[in-house]
Homo-oligomer: A and B are copies of this chain.
Amino acid sequence: MTDRKPFILVTNDDGINAPGIAALYKALSQIADIAIVAPDREMSAAGHAITLSDPLRVTEVELEDGITGCAVNGTPADCVKIAARAVLKRPPDLVASGINLGSNTGINVIYSGTVSAATEGIILGIPSVAFSLATYHDPDFGPAAEVAKKVVTKVLENGLPENTLLNVNVPPIQSDEIKGIVVTKQGKAFYDEKFDKRVDPRNRTYYWMSGERKSMKEDEDSDERMVQEGYVSVTPVYYDLTHYEFLNNLRKWPLFNGEKPDLRESS
């Protein structure tokens, strides 16, 4: 490390007042200068939304223990964009997102505001890591915060390939029960949604979405499975969504051969 301390942008999707972000701040402030820029309220399942049609406001707020940060009335991706482009005085060396309450494994990753903040980081060319604690009940962010400090230290040392973030999920167990930190792929876990149909006091119908986590048969190197087995999972995530394996098959479809199509011809 040089004499200049690294500078880390900390954000999340549970909102600036969530305990997970304070835990992340405390762990990372031991190794770096930190700025917090985070949503002013819970933005879970915000996906990679950005705010184009409304003004964004930035308010300095005090978190617990005298920590200060900037609250933004936007999504996690908005927070990273506005931090890098308008709020921070110098570009951060790393974006750390979390610690999220609840895991971000399997297909759920595509709904995750926590991961989308890290994705926005890599789009802006900043190495980024997302951290999630795999429980909703009685969370103890301590072990995950220790993991975060270790992983961030390594990423600052080694760097990451362009356009790649690490999605880290920590099992809800004590530090000395964690079996290890392993590299994984995105698993198959997803939520099976139901819609509760209800009637409001004015007799109008509305729906609440509710989801039940579906366990799938998971490969041995999947994030979901390794977290369940007591490991910290580290999945490298890329924002290229192209399905390369299918690309060449698709080229064999006659319509897609690149020749001038007759669009008038009836189907």
Contact = CB atoms under 8 A, between A and B. Distances in A.
Q: Which residue, of A49, A52, A181, A241, has the highest number of chain B Cβ atoms within 10 A?
A: A241
Interface stretch (A18-26, A92-100, A103-111, A133-141): A103-111
Given A85-B194, A242-B186, A57 B209 contact: no
A217 B119 CA distance: 22
What size tier do the contact residues of chain A reach? 35 or more
Nearest to A84: B193
Complex copy number for this chain: 2
A153 B267 contact: yes
Given A111-B50, A240-B186, A244-B185, A260 B56 contact: no
Interface in A251-267: 251, 253, 255-261, 263-264, 267
A47 B47 contact: yes
Interface in A62-82: 75, 77-78, 81-82
Given A82-B195, A263-B143, A263-B150, A207 B58 contact: yes
A45 B50 contact: yes
A105 B149 CA distance: 36
Interface in A135-185: 143, 146-147, 149-151, 153-154, 158, 161, 164, 166, 175-176, 178-183, 185
Contacts of A147: 261, 263
